[in-house]
């Protein structure tokens, strides 16, 4: 085969050089049985048949843009101005790659610099990097960063953190030999994360608003952490909330990790998205990924460069601070354009509108017999308790053409207390008619 240049002798020599018996040993970290399962795909077909097969699969999806949508849980449907898509599809942005040569990449570097500035301002922090892959990996990288700074090897994870984020943190920690204590999912709001810290703890990770939609004042926890030499990592999965709530930096967070999908990026059935990472300036040399900096050239002209990024980030992975050496550049650009179009006043107005729509929906849902809103506080997402399991109710609503929310049993499958709980997100895209349909279809599903 002309596309496979290695013969069996070459492969044996390579395996001997790295000290493994066969290629299967390269996958030893994959749990047993995963690679043994056959992939459920049809036999070889012609191109037209494959296209038709995928069209049939796509038709099974219920797109958030086509029906009233109240899905959240880490990804949120917001209106993205047409100018965003138009600008990111310009050739110089759409095809740009690693800006190693600043003299050839001033536009890309300038855009990244503005993105960093916006993220730092929104999070209330002093510095931000040029983006990460998504919110979950940004959170894990923040945790690894904290263990390097604190020189401790234990991580405490709040039960209010999105469990998928917690899974990614645990995966990263496993391969770094770090201990992770994950507190139980706490939908009643009685968690005491400060009580879980000890002398070996490097950081505490909390989410605000949390996975149940509740808003927290992180100041007391930050004070407790700092008194013990522990870093506080604040996670934000709904970036629009930063237009209305006190920033994590104001409340004493040391590192902020988050998901920027809400601004400039569609839900797109799960991605791609853009990770945010910001911190105190004193921690800048421990930040993963890239940082774009502003400087002056020999003629005194303002220019932009990658800065404080060692070669190990790119070519010596075993010595690198982090093995994330790229970013979600196009998604970050979309984020930055959307924020620029909004401005400070627009960002605040968008956040206020989200909250107002969510309050209206919560009040309407609370009027349904047997339905109770669990939150005392929320931004644009809240948890409701149903008189029956939430998952079948959501399926019934979807069949009626309404995406009614996320059953918390999907995020916490092993916790029976989550079975009747439904996570509902309401953004500026929800009209009065959409909320009417939400109430009507939920009422009908509960009676079915």
What are 358-390's pLDDT values in tens digits?
999 999 999 999 999 999 999 999 999 999 999
Predicted confidence at residue 24, as pLDDT, reads 86
Co-location of 383 and 316 in the same domain: no
pLDDT band at 2 (very low <50, low <70, confident <90, very high): low
Q: Which is higher by pLDDT, 327 or 446?
A: 446
The percentage of residues in the chain with a pLDDT greater than 90, rounded to a whole number, is: 75
- The reply to whether omega before 272 is within 30° of 0 (cis) is yes
Q: How many domains does the chain have?
A: 2
The percentage of residues in the chain with a pLDDT greater than 70, rounded to a whole number, is: 96
CA 87 → CA 239, 329, 330, distances in Å?
21, 13, 10
Backbone angles phi, psi at 180, to 5 degrees: -125, 125
Does residue 274 sit within a domain? yes
Residue 1 predicted with pLDDT over 60: no
User: How many C-beta atoms surround the C-beta of residue 435 within 10 A?
Assistant: 20
Q: Which is higher by pLDDT, 324 or 389?
A: 389
Predicted confidence at residue 260, as pLDDT, reads 98
Does residue 192 sit within a domain? yes
Co-location of 411 and 297 in the same domain: no
Predicted confidence at residue 28, as pLDDT, reads 85
Co-location of 391 and 319 in the same domain: no
Instruction: Write out the two tokens for 394.
Output: 């959501």
Co-location of 366 and 334 in the same domain: no
User: How many C-beta atoms surround the C-beta of residue 353 within 10 A?
Assistant: 16
Predicted confidence at residue 317, as pLDDT, reads 63
Mean local confidence (pLDDT), 287-306: 92
Predicted confidence at residue 361, as pLDDT, reads 98
Q: Which of 303, 338, 373 is the C-terminal boundary of a domain? A: 338
Q: Which of 316, 338, 360 is the C-terminal boundary of a domain? A: 338
pTM: 0.90
Co-location of 370 and 306 in the same domain: no
Mean local confidence (pLDDT), 270-298: 93
Residue 83 predicted with pLDDT over 60: yes
Contacts 24+ apart (CB under 8 A), 417-420: 417/187, 418/185, 418/187, 419/389, 419/390, 419/391, 420/385, 420/386, 420/387, 420/388, 420/389, 420/390
For the residues of 309-351, what is the DSSP string, one character each? --THHHH-GGG-S-S-----HHHHHHHHHHHHHHHHHHHHHHH
CA atoms within 13 A on the CB side of 103: 2
Predicted confidence at residue 121, as pLDDT, reads 98
Co-location of 224 and 146 in the same domain: yes
CA angle at 203 for the pair 282 and 251, rounded to the nearest 5°: 65
pLDDT band at 312 (very low <50, low <70, confident <90, very high): low
3-state SS track over 93-125? HHCCCCCCCHHHCHHHHHHHHHHHHHHHHHHCC
CATH assignment at residue 382: 3.90.1150.10
Q: Which of 338, 365, 382 is the C-terminal boundary of a domain? A: 338
Co-location of 357 and 411 in the same domain: yes
Mean pLDDT of the residues in the chain: 92
Co-location of 370 and 331 in the same domain: no
The answer to whether 151 touches 200, Cβ cutoff 8 Å, is: no
Co-location of 278 and 180 in the same domain: yes
Give Cα 171 distance to the centre of its chain.
Answer: 16
Co-location of 112 and 213 in the same domain: yes
Domain span at residue 397?
A: 344-447
pLDDT band at 352 (very low <50, low <70, confident <90, very high): very high
């Amino acid at each position: 085969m002309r596309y496979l240049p290695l013969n069996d002798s070459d492969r044996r020599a390579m395996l001997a050089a790295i000290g493994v018996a066969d290629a299967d040993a390269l996958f030893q970290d994959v749990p047993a049985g995963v690679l043994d399962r056959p992939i459920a795909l049809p036999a070889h077909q012609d191109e037209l048949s494959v296209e038709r097969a995928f069209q049939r699969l796509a038709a099974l999806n219920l797109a958030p843009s086509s029906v009233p949508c109240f899905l959240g849980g880490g990804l949120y449907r917001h209106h993205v101005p047409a100018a965003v898509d138009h600008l990111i599809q310009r050739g110089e942005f759409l095809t740009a790659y690693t800006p190693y040569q600043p003299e050839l990449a001033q536009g890309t570097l300038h855009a990244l610099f503005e993105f960093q500035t916006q993220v730092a301002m929104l999070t209330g922090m002093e510095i931000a990097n040029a983006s990460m892959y998504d919110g979950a990996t940004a959170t894990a990288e923040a945790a690894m960063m904290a263990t390097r700074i604190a020189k401790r090897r234990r991580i405490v994870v709040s039960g209010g953190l999105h469990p998928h984020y917690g899974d990614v943190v645990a995966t990263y920690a496993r391969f770094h030999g770090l201990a992770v204590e994950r507190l139980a999912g706490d939908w009643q709001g009685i968690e005491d994360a400060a009580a879980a810290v000890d002398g070996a703890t490097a950081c505490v990770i909390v989410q605000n608003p949390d996975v149940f939609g509740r808003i927290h004042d992180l100041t007391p926890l930050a004070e407790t952490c700092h008194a013990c030499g522990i870093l506080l990592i604040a996670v934000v999965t709904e970036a629009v909330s930063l237009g209305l709530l006190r920033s994590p930096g104001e409340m004493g967070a040391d590192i902020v990790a988050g998901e920027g999908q809400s601004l400039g990026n569609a839900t797109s059935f799960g991605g791609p998205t853009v990770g945010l990472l910001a911190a105190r300036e004193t921690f800048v040399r421990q930040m993963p990924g890239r940082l774009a900096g502003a400087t002056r050239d020999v003629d005194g002209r303002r220019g932009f460069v990658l800065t404080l990024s060692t070669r190990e980030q790119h070519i010596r992975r075993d010595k690198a601070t982090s093995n994330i050496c790229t970013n979600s550049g196009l998604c970050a650009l979309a984020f930055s354009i959307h924020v620029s179009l909004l401005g400070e006043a627009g960002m605040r107005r968008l956040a206020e509108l989200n909250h107002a729509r969510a309050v209206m929906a919560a009040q309407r849902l609370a009027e349904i017999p047997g339905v109770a809103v669990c939150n005392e506080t929320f931004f644009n997402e809240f948890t409701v308790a149903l008189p029956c399991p939430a998952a079948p109710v959501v399926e019934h609503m979807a069949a009626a053409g309404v995406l009614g929310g996320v059953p918390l049993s999907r995020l916490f499958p092993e916790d029976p207390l989550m079975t009747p709980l439904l996570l509902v997100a309401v953004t500026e895209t929800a009209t009065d008619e959409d909320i009417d349909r939400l109430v009507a279809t939920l009422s009908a599903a509960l009676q079915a």
